Amino acid sequence: MISRFRGASSVLLAGSLACGDDGGAVSDASSGGSTLADTTGQTAASSSTGGETSTTDPSGDDGDALARYCGDESAAVEDQITAWLAELDVASKVAMMHGVGLLPSGGSWGVAGNAAAGIPGLHMLDGPRGVSKVSGVTATAFPVGMMRGATWDPVLEREVGAAMGREIRSVGSDVLLAPTMNLLRHPRWGRAQETYGEDTHHVGTMAVAFIEGVQSQNVIATAKHFAVNSIEDTRFDVDVTIDERSLHEIYLPHFRRAVQDADVGAVMSAYNSVNGLYCDINPTLLRDILGSEWGFAGFVMSDWVQGTHASVAAVRAGLDVEMPSGSHFGSLVGAVAQGDIDEAELDESLRGVLRAQLCFDLDTDPPQVDPDARETDEHLALAEEVARRGIVLVRNEGVLPLDRALLGEIVVMGPFADVENIGDDGSSTVMPASVVTALEGIVDRAGAVTVTHLPSVSPTASDELVIAGADAVVLVVGLGADDEGEGLVAAGDREGLSLSLPQLELIHAVAALGTPTIVVLEGGGPILVSDWIDEVAAVMIAWYPGMRGGNAVGDILFGDAEPSGRLPASVPVAEADLPLFDNVSLAVTYDYLHGYRYLDAMGVEAALPFGFGLSYTEFSYDELMLSESQVPASGTVLIASVDVTNVGTRRGRETVQLYVAVPGSTTMRSPRDLRGFAQVELDPGQSATVEIEVAMQDLRVWNAEAGGWDPLEPTDYLVQVGPSSATLPLQAQFSVSEGA
């Protein structure tokens, strides 16, 4: 029987602050090493040597897996679990392996405990942008995950996680069903808004920070949906065929980091099947990878209602808890009686469930209902700051920031100007007490400037006269809950990547009038801009900006805040430039390339590249240095340093991005892969040295034939640094020698 002795450790807080040489604040968001105990209880080797293939992550240390997960009390925790399992009968055990009912009770979905034994049970709530509406209470509606991904700031995201953790506890819940960390393989995915972006390194860094923030409040975070899940309309039935290399190098590393770097408490299996097996009955995913290879110490739950496909087979594959009821797992009592499964196998599954409850102190520090802990001034200010930081300015022909002293009147139009547009109507829906719309935020920040709202869908003759007499016009367009969202529960996948025809006609008509036109795009993912962007003076992407998003829009427009958001996903010129998105067929194939990696490999320029964003100031890059020019095959970390200077006239924040190319590789690779990033905030004329760590594990290749990671390939590696995937002015080279 495969051991479920699973654990992990974070040895580097992604986003820890440092100082540059000239005093600039630097946020290091590079990935660090992690720790892993293998299933025999031995510590994984620090690297693979010779020509052998390592089957485990080579970045471990000698720490004890359970001590990392539970701290100093790990031995006592395991003893307590053993005692409980010896005392409980089969029916009591099975009751703690599934939810208590299809509908939430008391504002959350529950998993039974055992009062007589002192086992608290679990209380679960979404979601990715705040306390779920299912709770029946108002709560802080944070910007969606995609907008938080656009901040590229794990320090800020850790604060968001902690705030959500506090609010989840305030309604009596102890499991947060977030983060959603599936890659945005294609922008038409209806649930794009919930994740952080298209790149595994970027998503992993943001997710680790969020999980650490949530779990700092003794709330169990849930990494979902495991794995290869990014289609809504066929999500219950689609089978995704994927080769081992694509799975291990592209679609799993961010989940691995959630386990090994953030010690995530729970993982949710996806609805879909992978290579012919549904995720909840897929031992390759749950037993072999999550359990044996990564050493996960928490518990695996199913997705809701249709996410469980068996009882005995699911338990043996590695599923611990069926949600939200016991449609399948309820039969396990009879299965034990009939000899179809051993009680010891239930004990093995239940151990992870009980461990999480004890290690997160749910028995001694249960959550307490506290309405005063929600929508606090601190949380509202944080939601507003995240919205400011997540807005991405992608075009500015000298019109922004708007100067109040030079303006008499601005016009605000568009279908989302005066609409509370904060995300889809799916499981992640939050019910805030109030929402600041874009129009309200602009009016509030306009000062003495007259703001005229024109509610017309298309400009009338009288509207045209008003627009012609104004100094600027702001069009708020994009997507809403009717256009995209969770499948069946909400709108599902998008029908296309363009704006609706009426919105396109509105942009063309208003821009033709000659008044400087500023477009504010709302939505959960990339929207095509190529057929109209050259007609307007400025474009900012405001995503679904949360309950205080309108204030953030106003702050950026009038220059009260600096635009620092960067795109977490590529915006193509046309949808045909991307891999096919098939949300009709029940069998699809996921390949090695998507997003900027696919565009680069095809030699196709993006309309707006991954990592791109404009500021109200400018930055220069100089003196890229590497800690080593020759890296041994056993190497674990490379440090790159670069000097960044604010050469503009305003204080600003820059996101320094590091990509690695392996042009001489004998294996097909992406032209470049993001392997680190960091932020620096500088005054005009100020410089700072930014350091970014590159984990050598991220440069290794999965060997499908051997079933493990190859040693570092002995060849030259090109480090490229700059402000986006398409603008990388600095480069340096290091080499790995065979047998070094």
Among positive and negative, which fits the CA dihedral 51, 52, 55, 60? negative
Phi, psi of 239 (to 5 degrees): -105, 125
Residues in CB range of 322: below 8 A, 6 or more apart: 97, 98, 99, 301, 302, 308, 314, 328, 329
Q: Among 28, 303, 320, 600, which one carries the catalytic annotation?
A: 303
- HEC string of 151-199 equals CCCHHHHHHHHHHHHHHHHHCCCCEECCCECCCCCCCCCCCHHHCCCCC
What is the C-alpha separation between 393 and 221, in angstroms, rounded?
32
Q: For residues 494 and 506, is the Cβ–Cβ distance under 8 A?
A: no
The helix or strand, by DSSP H or E, that contains position 540, with its residue range, turns out to be strand 538-541
Is the link from the previous residue into 595 a cis peptide, with omega within 30 of 0? no
What is the C-alpha separation between 427 and 177, in angstroms, rounded?
10
What is the C-alpha separation between 302 and 15, in angstroms, rounded?
31
Tell me the CA end-to-end span of the chain in Å, nearest whole number: 38
- HEC string of 595-610 equals HHHHHHHHCCCCCECC
Residue type, 547: M
Among residues 227, 223, 325, the alpha carbon closest in space to that of 277 is found at 227
Q: For residues 563 and 393, is the Cβ–Cβ distance under 8 A?
A: yes
Pairing of strands 652-661, 716-722: antiparallel
Among residues 358, 217, 388, the alpha carbon closest in space to that of 297 is found at 358
Copy the structure tokens of residue 3.
């051991």
- Helices 200-215, 253-260: axis angle to 10 degrees equals 30
Strands (E), 244-313: 266-269, 273-274, 277-278, 299-301
Copy the structure tokens of residue 674.
């993001």
Among positive and negative, which fits the CA dihedral 645, 647, 652, 657? negative
Copy the structure tokens of residue 123.
């209380």
Give the Cβ contact number of residue 394 at 10 Å: 22
What is the C-alpha separation between 136 and 133, in angstroms, rounded?
6
491 beta partners: none
Residues in CB range of 603: below 8 A, 6 or more apart: none
Active site residue 303: yes
Q: For residues 476 and 517, is the Cβ–Cβ distance under 8 A?
A: no
Among residues 620, 612, 685, the alpha carbon closest in space to that of 24 is found at 685
What is the C-alpha separation between 108 and 541, in angstroms, rounded?
34
What is the C-alpha separation between 95 and 457, in angstroms, rounded?
55
> Running DSSP on this structure, what letter comes out for residue 438?
H
What is the C-alpha separation between 135 and 201, in angstroms, rounded?
33
What is the C-alpha separation between 77 and 528, in angstroms, rounded?
53
Catalogue the active-site residues.
Answer: 303
